[in-house]
Amino acid sequence: MKLADPKTLVPVAVLMLAVAGAAFGLPGYWIYLATSAVLNTLIALSVGVVYGRAGMVALCPLAFAGIGAWTTGWLNVHTGLPFLVLAALGALAAVPVGMAIGLPALRLRGVNLAVATLAFGGAVAVVVFDKGFPGAAERVSVTRPSFAASETGYFLLSVVVLALVGAALAALSKRTTGARWTAVRDSERATAALGYSVTTTKLLAFAVSAFIAGLGGALTAGQLGVLSGVGFQPMASIAVFTAAVAFGAAHVEGALLAGLAATFVPELLHQLGLPQDVAPAVFAVAALQALAAGSDGVAGQFRAVLGRKRSARTQPHQPPQAIGTDPAVSGSGRPRTEPRSAEPALKAAGVNVTYGAVKAIQGADLIIREGTVHGLIGPNGAGKSTLIDVLSGFVTPDTGHVTLGEIPLDGVPPHRRARLGLRRSFQQGRVNPQLTIGQYLMLSGRGNADRRLVLDLLDAFGCPPAATKVAAIDVGTRRLVEVAATLAGRPSVVLLDEPAAGLSTQESLRLGAGIAAIPERFGCAVLLVEHDIDLVTTCCDEATALDFGKVIARGTPAEVLADPVVVRAYLGTALETPSTEPASGGDLETAVRS
């Protein structure tokens, strides 16, 4: 194992602290400070979960810590339970409070959420902490366990707890739970489209964050014995939050740096005779710098540097040619079957959507048949994206019905539609850059994507190897990965919203061959929303044209493109000299593409 690997920095640093504190016999005061640094690291880790991973600004980590400490103190006064049980119960007591304060995160974003959580922290400080902690008036100290009664023993206990929490978070990062948090941070719509509940994901992040912070508070009660509310005020929460952001507490090594800074920078200022209030200002400036750079703090920047060095040492990947693709052929089309005899896989009937005075969709009907690729075309502003939002559940129609097979989807939220077998992509890339391609496909598969399916999807769309970081690939290749991800959950219908946007000619050819093969190779129907007429004629069995929210033509791609109404919608006028030959669509396709 390489010591330069960021994943090894935490155990190495913790080991160094343990050796410095226990083996070298540092004075008791410095052992006390080292313990405080470990506990501050736990608080920073809680910030790393809810902000660094899930992207929600919560300015009340010490409120959760205070609840854990208060509960531990109360149980110490009123029960005879062992300290470790008291600490566990104190951490658990913070969980329902964390979920309760997480409820506003379902509606609030950014500054609004920050203000709400800061107000919560202030309210808890006034109502609970300022009235005194249990046992403080009577000077009843929280009893440490016998094996950790000394400062050195308690320091080692805190180190063990930190190591366990770090290992648990590392395990979560490798599972879908951690990936869901970062997915919510990058795009809530994309997370729902993958079949995950945004509500559940956010509340789980707040619950885990509150548990970790509550555990830190419970251990603080054991460290100090008798507590006051001074250390749990809102301004202290802001200081911890800014330090966590500055050092990148989404990564465990960043949280450790934040914990060390939060403890030793004020001590250094005290030794220099400077006001300790300078420390929060320093952390705030560093946090602003991290936010302006769009990075995950010091730890994130360090990992990015290591990632670039590793990428530079690897050979550039040449994407394999998708099976069945002939780069010299772009418009020959896929072999046609008799799609109109197939049963409907997805059906929309009488859909109307209005935004104030704007009629985005007007009585639209659409049938996507099993085993087919169906194209949805139309000029800009025709309502294509609105219709695909209706089908996937992101827009509720004023009237009309959507049916998946025989399952009515009226009122079904997006994540449940995805679980039922209806997946979609987006016009703007929403692939999670923090994951490898393989991890993203596994996340998209919700447990249905085994290694064989992942390799098959990568081959079908000419994607880089599964171990490649999404952040390391270009925008065009990310589009291919996103299309592949829609199939990872083995859906019955996929909705592709302009997947060729931003692709080069060769990438578009690979994509076209991959889409054309989806019904036979992966067993699902496809709705392709696309402006690339070559791609539509190459891939699609059927097509529907929209204009001003109305269906103006349906049939084979050749029939739709040969319809004068469609030509008028694109060009503003019909062709002056229509051909007397049977409509093949060729000349009109050229006119439409121009």
Average pLDDT over residues 122-145: 85
Residue scoring higher pLDDT (376 or 306): 376
Residue 328 has pLDDT above 60, yes or no: no
Q: Do 378 and 384 form a contact (C-beta atoms < 8 A)? A: yes
Q: Do 485 and 494 form a contact (C-beta atoms < 8 A)? A: no
Encoded amino acid at 279, one letter: A
Q: Could you tell me the pLDDT band of residue 52, with boundaries at 50, 70 and 90?
A: confident
pLDDT value at residue 585: 46
| 535/561 Cα distance (integer angstroms) | 13
Q: Could you tell me the pLDDT band of residue 591, with boundaries at 50, 70 and 90?
A: low
pLDDT value at residue 570: 79
| 360/441 Cα distance (integer angstroms) | 33
Pairing, β 542-547 against β 422-424: unpaired
Strand order in the sheet with 493-497: 422-424, 493-497, 525-529, 373-377, 542-547, 550-555
Residue 9 has pLDDT above 80, yes or no: no
pLDDT value at residue 321: 43
Lowest mean pLDDT among 181-185, 384-388, 399-403: 181-185
Question: Which residues are paired to 496 by β-bridges?
Answer: 528
Residue 558 has pLDDT above 80, yes or no: yes
Average pLDDT over residues 402-410: 93
| 144/150 Cα distance (integer angstroms) | 9
In order, the DSSP letters of 375-435 are EEE-STTSSHHHHHHHHHTSS--SEEEEEETTEE-TT--HHHHHHHTEEE--SS----TTS
Q: Which percentage of the chain shows pLDDT scores above 90?
A: 32
Give kind and range of the element (H or E) at residue 552. strand 550-555
Q: DSSP state, 371?
A: T
Q: DSSP state, 336?
A: P
Average pLDDT over residues 446-471: 85
Residue 513 has pLDDT above 80, yes or no: yes
H-helix segments, 176-271: 176-186, 188-193, 198-224, 234-247, 252-271
pLDDT value at residue 1: 35
Residue scoring higher pLDDT (26 or 295): 26
Question: Which residues are paired to 528 by β-bridges?
Answer: 375, 496
pLDDT digits (tens, 9 = 90+) for 86-116: 999 999 999 999 999 888 888 888 888 888 8
Give kind and range of the element (H or E) at residue 57. none
Helix (H, G, I), strand (E, B) or coil at 330: coil
Scan for tokens 């050749």, then name that residue. 558
Describe the crossing of helices 234-247 and 28-47 by its angle, rounded to 10 degrees: 80
Instruction: Write out 98-126 in H/E/C secondary structure.
Output: HHHHHHHHHCCCHHHHHHHHHHHHHHHHH
Q: Could you tell me the pLDDT band of residue 185, with boundaries at 50, 70 and 90?
A: confident
| 28/43 Cα distance (integer angstroms) | 23
pLDDT value at residue 23: 44
Q: Taking the complete model, does pTM exceed 0.85, yes or no?
A: no
pLDDT value at residue 583: 42
Domains along the sequence of the chain with CATH: 6-233 (no CATH), 339-429+492-593 (3.40.50.300)
pLDDT digits (tens, 9 = 90+) for 219-260: 999 998 888 877 888 888 888 888 888 888 888 888 888 888
Residue 11 has pLDDT above 60, yes or no: no
Average pLDDT over residues 189-217: 92
pLDDT value at residue 293: 63
Residue 24 has pLDDT above 60, yes or no: no
| 364/381 Cα distance (integer angstroms) | 15
pLDDT value at residue 297: 76
Scan for tokens 């508070």, then name that residue. 217
